Structure 1
């Protein structure tokens, strides 16, 4: 009986415990369910605070100093070669291009017997080298006389030929460039010649020779009918820091020449070099144009030098050009270009005889400093190959 009561009591207690647990579970769930009317009896988690928009801080604009304007770098000026080193190269270049004439002469004159056929061959050699008819006959007569009287060894023959060739080239001619004016005015050099002879290039190269001697130079681009000539001269000037006076294409050449000389006078330049047109359509037109250029220039300063540029490779055609310009202007000196490209060095003798004026400068290549003062002794030695 007692055992039965104990079991009943245990069962009752168990039921009570289960009931309490179920009630707690149901009550807990009921508290978590929101009321149907949306009442306020439920504690909801606090809403996240609404963040106020952060006002953007407007910074005052920072003034950036303007970048300094780029100053173009000054062009690097070239240093022209000195006259002394040009003369060294003159001898080397001439020996390479002109030695054939001298060697041919020496071979003929060194024969055991100098008969008429030999002398005819000597004349042909000289004429082929463009020495010219009159100078050739003169040289042959002198050689005939001296070798008949003096005779001698090969060394003696060479000495005789050198003396006579040197006399023919005439070392007594004044080959100095007249590039200095009087009364504080610049020297004015007028450069003439046909297009294609290297006239404009020669103007640029002469400027380099003068700059190497520390002279202040102004160039006048008066070959106004060829835009390429004007641009070419401007480039030559830029390379050595020389001012170039130019005008629009087709400008009156005399006007440009006048302005160039005026600038030379105003700036205290030592020398003004004027490049002129090289057209040869007719002698009258050329005479009128060059005559006008010279007259206009001389309102500012006297012309101290008129240089005629001739292409050594043209031979007798160059002589025809020389005659025309001699009749048009008072040529005072000759610039002989492309002498290294021709074995006809006799043109030096022929053109000097034709014009009665000296070869003053010779061109020996396409380099910027391949223009050198003419040296009669160096030229004859080059002809003889030594």
Structure 2
């Protein structure tokens, strides 16, 4: 390649070959020898691009007389794009006095939002945290504001809907086991595992498995037949413990003590029971014995206000035994039919708290030697096998006379009720399958058994 022609790299960055003498314009002037070297000196052209562009002065030119002014809008469309859109309020030009000085001028293309006239905010009122918590709890219970629309469903519909998680889990396992193979030992073992996982307990699982396999080895059996056998065995296990809570009218007041761990739903259960007893025409009094939790006191007060039930309460941290004593004396003086005493939630393995429960019972027996006439242990179905230890240890501290099982709608292990019946034989008075007032109902073994097996009401 000749030296008078630039290479590809030079042509890429604008270097040109030698130009004819008559076309060269304003050749760069070499700096004086004693001038300091520029920073780019000694570097190739493409490092700075300084010599890549020829400086060609533009010849002076005057605009043509008839050339239109590019900074003006032709008369035909003057103001055409400045007219306000129909129905849209005019806005001041950007940067005028109408703009907010704190924000500066608004961009001319932005749509300005109409500002509402300033309204003076009302003074801030102090918030009663305990009352707010109680209100929230009652809203979930179905009696707070806003109130729920009345449900058209009956108890059976609510029961089957609440037991859906347990019945669906069992139905899926049963269908998978008994539609693909004949009945054999492995199939029965898998059925036992499914029942144990649903917290039916080993004893119940073995009994159901034995009933399913009786006379059916190496034969086919439909899932519906298995569910029918399951329902029959569950009903058989629960029928001896399905007893309603009987109020002895000869005892005034009939004292019901409510115990259980934190979060089991004791306060809510007492509120719902007060509604049921009032509906039966009984006079009721509530005692806010959960003095450790301010929200529990307020919650019970709201229940009392909604149902027209008097509530005996004290300050947070007050002696629970003393409050129960006073409530019983007042209920006696008023001739109240039923006294419902709430207690603080306590873990079953905390000896100090269990001793306090024993103290409450000792104190109220100074007023009535037979009190409490019923001690309800409220159990949360979602705790599963832990409910067994709760029954065992609470029974040592208090004369537990019956069980209330709540939150059966929140677990796929609803069989825990069967395991409790098999081990302790304590009466099951009520079960809960939701948060609403109507979702706590007396326990019926047949309905529960068919609901948990996924069968229609028989």
* TM-score after normalising by structure 2: 0.61
Deviates most, 231-240 or 360-369: 360-369
Distance 1:364 1:205 in 2: 13
Q: Any idea what SS the aligned residue of 2:437 has? A: coil
Structure 1 residue 132, shift from structure 2 partner = 1.5
RMSD of Structure 2 on Structure 1 (CA): 2.9
Structure 1 unmatched ranges of 5 or more:
1-76
Find out whether 1:279 has 2:346 as its counterpart.
yes
Distance in structure 1 (CA, Å) of the matches to 2:447 and 2:162: 8
Counterpart CA distance in 2 for 1:282 and 1:380 is 32
C-alpha contact (below 8 Å) 2:231/2:449 kept by paired residues: yes
Give yes or no for contact 2:241–2:425 (8 Å, CA) kept in 1.
Answer: no
| Alignment correspondent of 1:247 | 314
Q: Does 1:354 align with 2:423?
A: yes
Give the number of the structure whose alpha-carbon radius of gyration is greater: 1
1:292 is aligned to 2:359: yes
> Shift of residue 382 of structure 1?
0.8
Question: Is 1:205 matched with 2:272?
Answer: yes
Residue 162 of structure 1 corresponds to which residue in structure 2? 231
- Tell me if structure 1 keeps the 8 A contact 2:184–2:218: no
Distance 1:85 1:304 in 2: 34
Q: Is the 8 A contact 1:162 1:381 kept in 2?
A: yes
Distance (whole Å) between structure 1 residues aligned to residue 223 and residue 408 of structure 2: 28
Superposition deviation, residue 369 in structure 1: 2.8
What do residues 283-338 of structure 1 show as CA deviations (whole Å, max 9, x unaligned)? 43233211111122223332221111111111122222222212221211111111
Equivalent residues in 2 for 1:1-386 (5 A)?
87-104=155-172, 106-107=174-175, 108-109=177-178, 112-145=181-214, 147=216, 156-168=225-237, 170-182=238-250, 184-280=251-347, 282-301=349-368, 302-386=371-455
Deviation at 1:362?
1.2
233 and 262 in structure 1: CA distance in 2 versus 1, 3 angstrom threshold: same
Alpha-carbon distance in structure 1 between the residues aligned to 2:418 and 2:348: 28
Q: Decide which moves more: 173-182 or 248-257.
A: 173-182
Range 140-149 or range 117-126, more displaced: 140-149
Alignment partners' CA distance in 2, 1:173 and 1:98: 21
Deviations 1:346-381 (A, max 9, x none): 011112233320222111111233211111111111
SS in 2 for 1:343: coil
Indicate the structure whose relative CO is greater, using CA pairs within 8 Å and at least 6 residues apart.
1
Cα gap change, 1:350/1:152 in structure 2, threshold over 3 Å: closer, same or farther? closer
Structure 1 distance, partners of 2:231, 2:349, is: 41
Shifted more, 204-213 versus 234-243: the winner is 204-213
Q: Which runs of 5+ in 2 are unaligned?
A: 1-142
> 1:297 and 1:364 mapped to 2: Cα distance?
32
CA distance in structure 2 between the aligned counterparts of 1:193 and 1:150, rounded to whole angstroms = 47
Of Structure 1 and Structure 2, the greater helix share is in 1
Conserved? CA contact 1:218–1:243, under 8 Å: yes
Tell me, yes or no, if the aligned pair for 1:180 and 1:270 is still in contact at 8 Å. no
Report if aligned partners of 2:183, 2:221 keep a CA contact under 8 Å in 1. Answer: no
1:193: Cα distance to partner?
0.3
Q: TM-score, normalised by structure 1?
A: 0.72
> What number of residue pairs does the alignment pair up?
307
Q: Which moved more, 1:204-213 or 1:267-276?
A: 204-213
- Describe the superposition over 1:146-179 as per-residue Cα deviations: whole angstroms up to 9, x where unpaired: 64599876665443332222112x2132521133
CA distance in 2, matches of 1:90, 1:124: 28
Give the Cα–Cα distance (whole angstroms) in 1 for the partners of residues 191 and 367 of structure 2.
52
Query: 1:172 aligns to what SS in structure 2?
Result: helix
Distance 1:148 1:300, change over 3 A: farther
Contact 1:81 1:212 in 2 (8 A): no
1:277 and 1:117, CA in 2 relative to 1: closer, same or farther beyond 3 A?
same
Q: Is the Cα–Cα contact under 8 Å of residues 81 and 209 in structure 1 kept in the other structure?
A: no
Secondary structure of 1:369's aligned partner: helix
| Equivalent residue number for residue 85 of structure 2 | none
